[in-house]
Amino acid sequence: MHFDGSPSSRRCVRVSTDVVNHGSPRKPFCKSSVINVCSFSISCWITVLKFARHYCAINATVPVLQRYYGGEDTRPDFRLGRETIQHLMLILKTDRQHGWGPTLETLVFLFWLATGSAYRVVSRVFCMPLPTVHRVVHRMVDEVVGVLPHFVRFPRTQEELQVVGDGFGRLAHHRAFDKAAGAVDGCYIQIKCPGGPDGHDYNNRKLFPSVVLQAVCDHQCRFMDIFVGYPGSVHDARILKNSPIYTRGTYPPPGYFLLADGGYPCLQEPLALITPYKRPVRGMAEQRFNYHHSRGRSIIERAFGMMKTRFRCIFLEALEVHPVFVPKVVTACVILHNICVGVVDELEEAVEEEEDQPPLERDGGESRSGAAWRAVLTNEVSALHEAPLDHDYFSQVNNNYKCGS
């Protein structure tokens, strides 16, 4: 900004050139930018207001903002529906006295997340300074991660737990799985190959650098627990043993179990983990159990598929951020996924079934610790608990006998 050199203008400290969309000068970013209002000349104020109107006009022509404020579908640009975006801003409750305002900062963050674009690209799209884009994205990620305990949690009451169990019973098409309290699995998050001598540790069995997201979901594809950040070369079972859900052993509660694929051990302690029988199975009973187990467990693959579809540029391409920042970005995606599930903001997901990892070498005692419970479930699956009324011949014979007597 140019000043005329008068004493009043010389006493004025640098004015922030960031102006909100409504056309008024914003509060400066730092203390060094404080404006001495008393010493401002009329000509200076006129210059500021002209700049504000000019900047507002520039922002008004940004296509992505035109589509948002024009009432168009927001999913192509932000991967979230309009109502979901507004709901997110209510959840965050960001009433800032500085910055670009909660609406614009939320849109910048969601656009970056939805497109996987570099900060420089987002800067050009929103006509925003590059350092500001970087600062906005990191601040918004921290704010979203801050609400993690409210949206990624285990059932807190027996009623909530029973709802989850009943849901898995319906998914598996058998009452034996009414005590399933979740499904656990891991998925790879592709990243840029870190430098240094330990960079090769991030290469997974598919030979691309990644970190692993371990997640537990309920019957509605809602994530209840996540553990993210281990290098891709680490086996799923080893990650499980180092995760809080294993070390604390507080979930699932007694009498309930989690469903997992064959890459995990079949356990009863410190947490109950039921896996399918290894192939080739022995007999129809094991085959029948594996069928119902697969129907229930596949919900975790669908949950991953939904999240990957929504944020495909994050999960299907190499994440262009520092590896230290990756866990926060993934956590933010998980939270947004759960919010979308809660408000029924659906996208057509592409379920990506990954091959089970080969089991880790382990001692026989550990691998057999959950075998007894699995055998009980197998017997329940094979048993005929209820005969359909039209095939309950014994009951019909008794009723006919009573009627005839």
Whether residue 244 is predicted with pLDDT greater than 90 in this model: the reply is yes
DSSP 6-31: -HHHHTSPPPP--B-TTSSBPPPSSG
Half-sphere exposure of 134 (CA within 13 A, CB side): 8
What mean pLDDT, rounded, does the chain reach? 80
Lowest mean pLDDT among 31-45, 118-132, 178-192, 366-380: 31-45
**Distance separating the N- and C-terminal Cα atoms of the chain:** 105
CA distance 357 to 233: 11
Please tell me whether residue 352 adopts helix, strand or coil conformation.
Answer: coil
Yes or no: say if 191 and 318 are a contact pair by the CB < 8 Å rule: yes
Helical H segments across 116-157, by residue range: 119-126, 130-145, 148-151
Yes or no: say if 104 and 96 are a contact pair by the CB < 8 Å rule: no
Whether residue 221 is predicted with pLDDT greater than 70 in this model: the reply is yes
Q: Which two tokens stand for residue 341?
A: 């599930």
Res 101: pLDDT: 83
Q: Where does the pLDDT of residue 361 fall: very low under 50, low under 70, confident under 90, or very high at 90 and above? A: low
Structure pTM? 0.78
Whether residue 159 is predicted with pLDDT greater than 80 in this model: the reply is yes
Higher per-residue confidence, 100 vs 330: 330
Cβ partners under 8 Å of residue 305, min gap 6: 349, 350, 351, 352
DSSP 235-267: -HHHHHHHSHHHHH--SSPTT-EEE--TTS--B
Lowest mean pLDDT among 255-259, 334-338, 384-388: 384-388
Lowest mean pLDDT among 63-77, 225-239, 244-258, 345-359: 345-359
Lowest mean pLDDT among 96-100, 117-121, 169-173: 96-100
Computed from CA positions of residues 230, 234, 239, 242, in that sequence, does the dihedral angle turn out positive or negative?
negative
Residue 88: other Cβ atoms inside 10 A: 23
pLDDT tens-digit profile of 2-40?
A: 334 444 333 333 333 333 333 334 443 343 333 333 443
Lowest mean pLDDT among 113-122, 187-196, 291-300, 351-360: 351-360
pLDDT tens-digit profile of 299-318?
A: 999 999 999 999 998 888 88
Q: Which two tokens stand for residue 387?
A: 């005969």
CA distance 85 to 262: 39
Q: Which two tokens stand for residue 220?
A: 């509605």
pLDDT tens-digit profile of 116-153?
A: 878 999 999 998 999 999 999 999 999 999 999 999 99
Average pLDDT over residues 214-237: 97
74-82 long-range contacts, CB within 8 A, separation 24+:
75/347, 77/111, 77/114, 77/115, 78/107, 78/110, 78/111, 78/114, 79/110, 79/113, 79/114, 79/310, 79/311, 79/347, 80/110, 80/114, 80/310, 80/336, 80/340, 80/345, 81/343, 81/345
352 exposure class (CB count in 10 Å sphere: 0-12, 13-18, 19+)? middle
Lowest mean pLDDT among 7-11, 94-98, 109-113, 146-150: 7-11
Amino acid code (one letter) for 217: C
In 3D space, the residue among 396, 399, 398 whose CA is nearest the CA of residue 388 turns out to be 396
Q: Which two tokens stand for residue 50?
A: 């002209």
% of the chain surpassing 70 pLDDT: 73
Res 32: pLDDT: 37
CA distance 151 to 225: 10
pLDDT tens-digit profile of 189-204?
A: 999 888 888 888 999 9
Q: Where does the pLDDT of residue 381 fall: very low under 50, low under 70, confident under 90, or very high at 90 and above? A: very high
Whether residue 46 is predicted with pLDDT greater than 50 in this model: the reply is no
Whether residue 207 is predicted with pLDDT greater than 70 in this model: the reply is yes
Amino acid code (one letter) for 340: C
Q: Which two tokens stand for residue 265?
A: 């051990």
